[in-house]
Amino acid sequence: MHRMRLINGLLVLAFAQAAAPAEPLTAWSWAITVQEDRELQLVHYCSEKLPDKKASLEADYSQYKARVQEAASALRTRGVADPHIARSPNPAAVAETQKALAVALEVAGIRDANRFCQELSTRLTHKLVEAIEADIQRTLASESGGPVGVRLPQ
């Protein structure tokens, strides 16, 4: 039941982003959003399963999100974003990424919540900006026809 709610939440988030009247979604902004939302969905899952860890996970996520923005800024400065800024993301890549995120939530539901959420916290606090840059570049590559750039939780 929790998995279904989380998957539905992921779909609602995806549709809300697509319908948002803010900036149009570009391949670049989508790649950044993927990095942030992948972990955010797992933070929500862990917060629901382990409410006593919610504040700590949210703080970890806030630090992670700042590093995502730092990585995005560094890539943009180096010109990596340029070819992706003006075009829309590939709908097939968006759909594949949504499927991969749904699988990540299913995997989370199968694993021991305490262990999974501790590993999530560790990943959020220790992931280096350079590793996030590589994740963004993998996501951009998947959007351009390469393999899907969303890594499943271990």
Banded model confidence at residue 15, pLDDT cuts 50, 70, 90: very low
Instruction: Residue 43: name the closest of 134, 128, 119 by CA.
Output: 119
Banded model confidence at residue 22, pLDDT cuts 50, 70, 90: low
Query: pLDDT at residue 130 above 90?
Result: yes
Question: pLDDT of 71-106, one tens digit each?
Answer: 999 999 898 888 888 889 999 988 998 898 899 889
Question: pLDDT of 43-70, one tens digit each?
Answer: 999 999 999 999 999 999 999 999 999 9
Taking the C-alpha atoms of residue 98 and residue 11, their distance in angstroms, rounded to an integer, is 8
- Within the chain, how many helices (H) and strands (E) appear? 7, 0
What the block records as the tokens of 17 is 């982003």
Banded model confidence at residue 10, pLDDT cuts 50, 70, 90: very low
Banded model confidence at residue 146, pLDDT cuts 50, 70, 90: low
Q: Which of 2-6, 22-26, 113-117 has the highest mean pLDDT?
A: 113-117
CB 40 within 8 A of CB 61: yes
pLDDT for 142: 82
